[in-house]
Structure 1
Amino acid sequence: MNRSFNKGLLVLFVLLMSSKLSFSQETLFEFGTSRSMEAVLSGAKVKDTPLKWVNVNTTKETWKLMKDGTLSNTGLPIGVIRSAKQYENFILHVEWKHMEAGGNSGVFAWSGAKPVGTNPLPDGVEIQMLDLEWVDLNLRNGVRPPIAYVHGELFGVQGVSTVADNPRGDRSKSIENRVKGKGEWNTYDVVCVDGVIKLSVNGKFVNGISKSSQKKGYLCLESEGAQIFYRNLKVIELAPGVTSAAETAALLP
């Protein structure tokens, strides 16, 4: 074989291997809906838009959409799925319940939806969903961690910075514990506007962050080692703000 042919085979091999190692970007399913605030206020009978979810670095077996519209997440492998489009200013409603003691999961807002370095999770602002028993199962030198860990913490991750309303280090903790235990449904209403997030847990606003360094990006649902169920996910899109390219996550195919 001549050298140019050998070089061509090498390039083809590298391309094939890189495609196998790259993270999947396939649409897995539709779950939840979105509509604009204008549509909400007009009262017009306009159909909501189904939300499409794209696999980033989980598997088809990680997620199962039930006949009643509930979405099951096994928690393995650790990673995320992302919304097909980016969101800037919006209201998110989602209901969730853990099925395992100490279960861990969450939603990422304003995310770039790509793993950072060796970490399988992306950047963005994490809206924590942690079972109440996590603190009992994760003693530190025999000392029980504070309950602040589990009731709706908000924090920037993987290079995204925020200012906490109720600081616990770099994170913001809820001022009142309103999370229910495993097997019970919890309701989050999340208002995201111009780098500010306010979180309502089971009917009361108890936490928030401001000055997020990234304020437009994808929504991500997290798989983090434990089974969790989601239902009634709805997004109401609000008017855009003055958001620079530096404050916006890169667009993905």
Structure 2
Amino acid sequence: MKYLIVLVLSIFSLAKTFAQTIHLFNGKDLNNWYSDVPATDKDPNLRKSFIIRDGNLVSMGTPEGHLLTKDKYENYRLELEYRFAGKPGNCGVLVHASTPRALYGMFPKSIEVQMMHENAGDFWCIVEDIKVENMEARRGPKENWGITEGKERRVKNLTDNSEKPLGEWNKMTIECRGDKIKVWVNGDMVNDGFGATAQKGQIALQAEGAEVEFRKVDLTPLK
């Protein structure tokens, strides 16, 4: 009887954990999201930068902008499955996003986790900042560091060999806990940051020139 109770409690705990996962993309619509595409301010009839196609969320690449969650989040694990649908290019997922169009009139204040082909896992500082070990080796000379236009905002990842060949699905996991952000690509840890100047905010996906498909965008709160 004792072992049965333990088993039941374990199953309940496991079920509770899975129940906490939020499917930010449900495979059907973008009800959890809204877009901010500056070019549509002048021409609202431009094609949509983010669509649903064959059950996938697709960033069309242009017009450039962002798809942002309606809600704000902190202390979570974000799991994404993505691939470049055609030519390789640039894209990213932004965490702890807040003030819209804070950089170059387009990027919201945030910390970007890069998805650019062959650079997945880099951090880009967008009016927020983060630290890593071996900072100068991975960000360049300290006097050039910054979080605004013209500054060295890129923090290189630990490996550029973790991505799948073009056309295959990649899995990216981003763990945000307090002021720490860890990133895995296909099971490899590719970045480990600390001292982030933001600890909560919206999550954003980019349209930044290349068509990218997402089949999974799941968030699990961390305790």
Q: State the SS of the aligned residue for 1:43.
A: helix
1:186-212, Cα deviation, whole Å (9 max, x unpaired): 110111000111111101212121111
TM-score by length of 1: 0.65
Contact 1:151–1:173 (Cα < 8 Å) also in 2: no
Higher mean C-alpha deviation, range 117-126 or range 199-208:
117-126
Q: 2:15 aligns with which of 43, 52, 61?
A: 43
Q: What's the CA shift for 1:120?
A: 1.1
Q: What's the CA shift for 1:164?
A: 2.2
Percentage of matched positions with identical amino acids: 26
Q: What's the CA shift for 1:185?
A: 1.0
Q: 2:62 aligns with which of 76, 84, 100?
A: 76
Q: State the SS of the aligned residue for 2:115.
A: strand
TM-score by length of 2: 0.73
Rg larger for: 1
Task: Report the counterpart of residue 144 of structure 2 in structure 1.
Answer: none
Unpaired segments ≥5 residues, structure 1: 1-38, 133-149, 240-253
Alpha carbons of 1:61 and 1:171: their partners in 2 closer, same or farther (altered >3 Å)? closer
| Separation in structure 2 between the aligned mates of residue 60 and residue 218 of structure 1, nearest angstrom | 24
Unpaired segments ≥5 residues, structure 2: 1-10, 25-31, 39-45, 140-152
Q: What's the CA shift for 1:86?
A: 0.3
Partner AA of 2:170 in structure 1: N
Alpha carbons of 1:117 and 1:188: their partners in 2 closer, same or farther (altered >3 Å)? closer
Q: 2:155 aligns with which of 155, 159, 172?
A: 172
Task: Report the counterpart of residue 194 of structure 1 in structure 2.
Answer: 178
Alpha carbons of 1:155 and 1:117: their partners in 2 closer, same or farther (altered >3 Å)? closer
> Do structure 1's residue 182 and structure 2's residue 169 form an aligned pair?
no
1:84-112, Cα deviation, whole Å (9 max, x unpaired): 10011100000111134441000000001
| Separation in structure 1 between the aligned mates of residue 173 and residue 12 of structure 2, nearest angstrom | 16
Higher strand residue share: 1
Partner AA of 2:133 in structure 1: D
**Residues 95-174 of structure 1: matches in 2 within 5 Å?**
95-112=81-98, 114-116=100-102, 118-132=104-118, 150-157=119-126, 159-165=127-133, 167=135, 168-169=138-139, 170-174=153-157
Structure scoring higher RCO (CA < 8 A, sep ≥ 6) equals 2
RMSD, matched Cα? 2.4
Alpha carbons of 1:101 and 1:181: their partners in 2 closer, same or farther (altered >3 Å)? farther
The number of residues matched between the two structures is 182
Q: What's the CA shift for 1:231?
A: 1.2
